[in-house]
Chains A and B, each alone.
Chain A
Amino acid sequence: MAMTDDSESLACGRRRDTLYDHLAADALDEHELSCPHCRRAAADLAPVHRATVLLRDEPADPPAGFVEVLMARIRAEARRRHRLPLPADPPMRLSISEHAAAAVLAIAADEVSGVTVRGCRFPDPDDPTHVEIAIALSYATPAPQTAERVRRRIRTAARNHLGLDLRTIDITVEDLRT
């Protein structure tokens, strides 16, 4: 019989990964405790399991400053996105970072039932009245009506939270979810 040491099942038919799972759970069944094939394989695998537990328990934390260095790089990337002018009475000037403004609108749009926001941006740095939003819809949601609800919600949020009257709201449905 050409059953090699390396095949996924033992000569008795028991799968080696089943045996290993039972070994790891300290729950070998009656067959595995009495079958000579299983007992030999379990003896082979026992040191692997013992060593695996040791490695799993070994601390492996990120080095000090990991998050700080990383976030400095990420914030530098984010800053490259622009700032938008907001309406204000002169001589006062008011601006908001593009991503903060987009976040306000994304959160508002996400509240519409059946809608998940994929992304939101002001494509033109000089035009705070033009917004692009990408969404996924749940399958049962009628796209045109939902898009209209998203549009209304965004327009209201822009007016109430940012003081902006949006002129163009481009909506892209990127995905339908079941």
Chain B
Amino acid sequence: MTEPVDDPALVLRARAGDTTAFEQLVRRHSGPVYRIALRITAEPEAARDAAQEAFIIAWRRLREIRAEQAFAVWLSRVATTCALRAARPQSSWVDIETSLAAASPTGDPQQQLLAADLLAALKRALKRLTPQQRACWVLRELEGLSYDQIAEVIGSKPAAVRGRIHRARTRLAKELRPWR
């Protein structure tokens, strides 16, 4: 077994044109990139296209990564930009209520149904946020980025990010009031 190579070493090799090194980066980060794209665009096809676009832009712009910058955060920025560009205001979420109920490993059917309804309600509510609010919320709540990192990703100030996430949560809380 060989030791897994860390991101900076792979970035260095990819920068010089090594596509195999870049493929390792893609395999390592395609999950988060696709997830960000899916949660922001809310459409699997648009998400796939945005995620592919993000990696192609990353490949072309590898030189722009600063030494002290984490590849993952830099890539999140590219992915978020691509996803926001692809996000249409009237995007529709895929209805996963039934698949979720089937996949859920535990609990009684009543509980599963409640969970599926709540999840569906959240997805509907997310669509009513502005794309910027949704992007900040996704990066914070689903990807676990700090306010500072999100500010870097979307090119804003941490205080503005904090405000957007606050407004997003307030809006979601209103939409989910029946679930209190």
Contacts and interface: CB of A to CB of B under 8 A. Distances in A.
Given A54-B118, A71-B26, A118-B15, 19 more contacts: A6-B167, A8-B162, A48-B172, A51-B122, A55-B123, A55-B142, A56-B141, A60-B38, A70-B30, A70-B55, A71-B19, A73-B52, A99-B18, A103-B16, A106-B12, A107-B16, A117-B12, A117-B15, A119-B63
Contact of B177 (A44, A67, A116, A136): A44
B71 interface: no
25 contacts: A8-B163, A44-B177, A45-B169, A47-B179, A48-B172, A48-B173, A50-B179, A51-B122, A51-B172, A55-B123, A58-B96, A61-B34, A63-B44, A63-B48, A66-B48, A66-B52, A69-B52, A70-B55, A74-B22, A103-B17, A107-B16, A116-B67, A117-B12, A119-B63, A177-B66
A49 B166 CA distance: 13
B67 to A, nearest CB: 5
Interface in B34-53: 34-35, 38-39, 44, 48, 51-52
Contact of B17 (A43, A44, A45, A102): A102
Specify the main secondary structure of chain B where it touches its partner: helix
Contacts of B38: 60
| Most-contacted residue by chain A among B17, B52, B162, B179 (CB, 10 A) | B17
Given A5-B170, A54-B122, A110 B12 contact: yes
A62 B179 CA distance: 31
A161 B119 CA distance: 58
B59 interface: yes
B119 A51 contact: yes
Interface residues of A, number: 53
- For chain B, the bracket of interface size reads 35 or more
B56 interface: yes
B72 interface: no
Interface stretch (A29-37, A75-83, A149-157, A162-170): A75-83
Contact of A17 (B39, B48, B119, B165): B165
B6 interface: no
Given A54-B119, A60-B35, A47 B52 contact: no
Interface string B109-152: 00000010011011100000000000000000110000000000
A54 B118 CA distance: 9
A134 B63 contact: yes
A120 interface: yes
Interface string A105-117: 1110010000011
Contacts of A69: 52
A172 to B, nearest CB: 11
A100 interface: yes
Contacts of B121: 51
Nearest to B68: A177
Contacts of A8: 162-163, 166
